């Protein structure tokens, strides 16, 4: 039987605009994902959680700014730990210019506040890239 896709969703602690994230969590759960959620926005915390939870996807939601260094450190950290098969996506309020740079860094996609959860789900299913056989799917 196929194992469910595992995703780590995280949003900054002092960020109260989390209705979107909560909604997304439920949509992904209802789509058959196992959604691990935390409220860290320090790249080391996200990295170690992703490692221990062995997730296929990391989703970071930001609407309070300050996300660029977090993404940067996260992408570096994933490379260092040879976890480049983990798909990273972002969401929330992220400027277009930032989004361009993030995609250059290897972030899979950035979804704006208007982004539909169905699109996010479809994107993840298409782009999850963990090798088969280890986590069977």
Where do contacts with another protein occur on this chain (CB under 8 A)? 1, 3-4, 6, 25-26, 28-40, 42, 44-45, 47-49, 51-54, 133-136
Here the tokens at position 131 are: 């090798």
The C-alpha atoms of residue 128 and residue 130 are separated, in whole angstroms, by 6
For residue 107, the 8-state DSSP code is -
Q: Of 64, 68, 51, which is closest to residue 103 (Cα–Cα)?
A: 68
CB of 33 to another protein, least distance (A): 5
Comparing CB distances to another protein, the nearer of 5 and 110 is 5
CB of 79 to another protein, least distance (A): 18
CB neighbourhood size of 1 (10 A): 5
Comparing CB distances to another protein, the nearer of 52 and 84 is 52
């Amino acid at each position: 039987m196929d194992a469910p896709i595992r995703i780590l969703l995280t949003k900054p602690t002092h960020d109260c605009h989390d209705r979107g994230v909560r909604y997304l969590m439920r949509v992904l759960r209802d789509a058959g994902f196992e959604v691990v959620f935390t409220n860290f926005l320090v790249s080391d915390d996200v990295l170690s959680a992703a490692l221990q939870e062995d997730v296929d996807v990391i989703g970071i939601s930001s609407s309070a700014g300050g996300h660029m260094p977090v993404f940067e450190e996260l992408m570096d950290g994933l490379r260092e730990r040879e976890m480049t098969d983990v798909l990273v996506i972002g969401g929330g309020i992220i400027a277009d210019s930032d989004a361009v740079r993030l995609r250059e860094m290897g972030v899979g996609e950035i979804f704006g506040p208007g982004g539909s959860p169905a699109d996010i789900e479809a994107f993840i299913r298409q782009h999850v890239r963990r090798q088969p056989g280890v986590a069977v799917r």
